[in-house]
Chain A
Amino acid sequence: MNKNNLWYIDQRAEYLANMYLSRRDDLIIERQNHTHDRGIDILIDICHSGTLTGRVFGVRIRAERSASHIRRVSHNLITYRYPVSTLEIIRDIPFPVVLLLMVMEDDSGYYNWINRTKLDQAVNLSLKTQSVPFERLTEESMNMLINEIDEWYERRIGNHENKRLV
């Protein structure tokens, strides 16, 4: 979480993110302790038919008071200059991590992957900031996001099975 040190930005962004994520009833949302920055603000378990699957992903929240730092490409796509050097901490996290950008002005939310298979493919950590595309959080985009995470785990299982056969 970026530290605005303003409760009505930082804390509110977490509740807003929780509101978005809890629109799906197959996600167990667990807020993380903020005593130390471990890279993620929320840990999410994916359930299928009410049962935990063991598939988890992390959420790192960035909050902005207004949309003034956002460049709108279309209704559902924006770009945002993200301080990517702060993402170093998530490099070794072994599960998918999603970046959420929450805007207090209109309670909108946007997401992007910041840790797919390789972090380097998403951002250039040697830069201080980088213009990063974000998609608007909608029911449709949330469905796609969860499907992508499921596929990430499916590929991972496939890779393990291939290694056993060798």
Chain B
Amino acid sequence: MKNSVGQRGEAIFYVLITKFYGRDKPIFRPQFLGDKWQNVDFIVELEDYSGKIKPFFFVQVKSTKSGYTKIKQRLKVKVRKKHVLSLSSYPAPTYIVGIDEVSEEGFVISANGESLSGISSIPTDNPINEKTQNILWEEVRNFWENSEFPRFCSYFSDPEWKGAKQ
């Protein structure tokens, strides 16, 4: 009998991505999507953003107790090709975070289509720390600020609802 697979990794990710680093509050607000959500584990919103849109990104957490490869010290987590394709299909920034359950560290890699094959390990160049948090926050913010969205007029809009969108 064990805890649900990935539960510990999800807890570690949440703690790491919301670490304060002396700030008044975290710069990310993650929300676990539930075990039934097939492709991603968390939706993460950017906090302290004052623009018109609410930037967000998706995260798939992969955790392991198997440690690292011998030569390149890559974290041994597997992501199948089918899953990589699914992650890259999201129109929002999407990342895989590998969690070392022993050291309670997490490492970020992009899953935005730069590569579409499966992987058996991920690099540890970007551990979740204050610096990585800042880079990630700015990268996601820049993505949404530089994205152009066509004006969207829904069939389901309410003509009685006053106040035009700014």
Contact = CB atoms under 8 A, between A and B. Distances in A.
B19 A107 contact: yes
Main secondary structure of the interface of A (DSSP, over half): mixed
A15 B1 contact: no
B90 interface: no
B34 to A, nearest CB: 12
Interface string A27-70: 11100000000000000010100111000000000000000000
Interface residues of B, number: 17
A12 B15 CA distance: 7
Contacts of A12: 14-15, 18, 26
B109 interface: no
Among A22, A27, A28, A50, chain B packs the most CB atoms within 10 A around the CB of A22
Interface in B92-150: 104
Contacts of A16: 11, 15
B1 A51 contact: yes
Contacts of B2: 25, 28, 50
A8 B1 contact: no
B3 A22 contact: yes
Contacts of A52: 1
Nearest to A30: B3
A8 B19 contact: no
A19 interface: yes
